[in-house]
A and B are shown apart, each in its own frame.
Chain A
Amino acid sequence: MLKKIRTILGTIFLVCITAMFLDFTGTLHMWLSWMADLQFLPAVLGLNIVAILIVLALTLLFGRIYCSVICPAGTYQDAVSHIAAKFKKNRFSFSKENKILRFSVLGVFVILLLVGLNGIAILIAPYSAYGRMVQNLWQPIYIGVNNLLAKAAEHYDSYAFYEKEVWIKAMPVFIVAIITFITFTVLAWRGGRTWCNNICPVGTVLGYLSKFSLFQIRIDADKCVNCRLCEKNCKSSCIDIDTHTVDSSRCVSCMNCLGKCKKDAIHYARASKSKSAHAKEDKPNASLRAMLTTTATLAATSVLHAQDKTTDGGLAVIEDKKIPERETPVKPAGSMSLSSFSSKCTGCQLCVAACPNGVLRPSTDLATFMQPEMGFEHGYCRPECTKCGEVCPAGAIKPITREQKTSIRAGHAVWVKDNCLPQKDGVSCGNCAEHCPSGAITMVPLPDNPKVKIPSIDTERCLGCGACEHLCPVRPFSAIYVEGNLVHGDM
């Protein structure tokens, strides 16, 4: 019964969170964003006290049910492990806790966060890792299916579906997502919760807390006949039948063991203060090896002009835009400042998945690795859109209103004289000024040649939305581009 409840709740969370990462229309977020808000690490970085208290309270009461229900990375691994169990029954056995590894990973993780190397730290953040995996690997497939439906809809003159462009937003992050996917899947297939009990920093923190949880798994040594069915089915490898103890720091309260016991010797019950045995053994640690490979892999990745017209028709070839070199990356309005943003963002890619304009993409810069930044080759940050702030679970991008957005200066436009069309080809242009939502660009005569009009930018009024960069006819590098503002000023 308890297992059933856990499975149902876990499935709901997994499905809903996955759906949120797949959905590119932004409709699901309105209903489901609280699920992302409950995620522990984003809540801690974003100082979401309510969410933190809820998770802590749940853990102190019921053990690590967070890991079994709320965390999508956890439930994803459970799903893989569940399928693996169909092929090989009773495949687990007890292994000793690798305390040194767990705490050193946690220690390094915290230090990285403190020194501001979030980009590396968040590689192992569970919820974000899962988000990256879905956004990078599954969302393209989801959009692909959507595009097929859109084609069908077009055939029937229906507007129920519309096509959405699919592109790899950042190759290194895409590779990280593939590695994450392989790591999660392989580890879960072979060893159940290996990841969660050796590497996951959230698992370590909550594991430590759950030692003190009110409800825990208990073995009644008197009834136990040492058949080891529970131990062989414990995906956390935390049941030791030799000592009749359960390592509650690794137990994720999945309740799988309860149903396995034919003698009613194992229970999920309130803690009694009697036992606190520590088993001692020196078995070779399979999960340690698996985990070391993972760390190694993860470490490796973290290093990681108008033609003359004589005939009619046809379309001129349009070169794709390229990303200009920016001194300061442009962060979305609502992220306050680069430093505030970098310290909170866990790189979960929810905003990237939700951005309807193809603007947000994960950074490939080491210090801010995988955290979103703006780019304007596929579109620009539209004045009516405030999606990223709405979905961010970590408070790295604060929710803002459309009105607020019209006064937040996330960046400023920079003119590249040598690229500019009127200057270069003598063609009259002005598309940047024409489309600037804040009217920050004025076309003025060039001092030494008054016939040529060039854009002049009022940086005080510029919002850094990228309309000018996106709509500039010069390709591949626009003649006007956006530089980020370190601190997002208010107009």
Chain B
Amino acid sequence: MRDVAFGQYYPSNSVLHKADPRTKLIAGIVYIVAVFLCDSYWSYLACFSFLLIACLVSKVPLKSILKSIKAVLFVVLITVIINVFCYKTGTVLWSWWILTVTDGGLIFASKMAMRLIFLVVSTSLITFTTTPVTLTDGLESLLTPLKWIKFPVHDVAIIMSIALRFIPSFTEEIDKIMMAQKARGACFDNGNIFKRAKALLPVLIPLFVSAFRRADELAMAMDARCYNATDKRTKMKRLKFAWRDLFLALATAVFLALIIMLKCGFFGLL
């Protein structure tokens, strides 16, 4: 079995792990909004400190968090390069052919890089501390108001949780099919990118066929277990809002207020 990024949950019993997924999702959204409100260095420092505290509280090892940054490092680098060369206000520091670097460009690029890194770390912190199933539950609960406009919230949640549940089954299936095709002389590792893509076709077709067969059987099994029997579906595990959620919500609110005050120049800084 290859190692599949099945969420990236890091089991622990920290306050963040135990917090309600809805609180975490909302806090995450608020944080992202706050990051985009930032302009001064002080507000970036505030964002950084808030994130650092959250990371420390979550007990997720710093190494795993850095790994999640590594995954997007390429995107960050490209953004930095583009911004450095395209942002043309401020004093010119260096110039060659059509490329010019200004101090304004450097500052802007570094801010963009920080933003991206904050975004990635904050969202991965949510997936580090929440199992995919709990996350789905949280989303379902948050989307409940959409039921008013006849949006099938529960069906969407079920689709998401089934998708998560079938990821390991399908990776296993791909391995099996690839082995079967290799045994019959298929070659997946040679040739240019087009040849390789073409070689994957005999893997994808059986995979799709089996996916449809599975879907058919699963639909029957769900039907046999009375799916859609009643509109008043209940849930065994109800999400509970606890004191830690209140604390988390308050901390996020204070943080947002701080960022807004910094933006409006309440402290007379910058």
Q: Do A and B bind each other?
A: no
**Interface residues of A, Cβ cutoff 8 Å to B:** none
Binding site for A on B (CB under 8 A): none
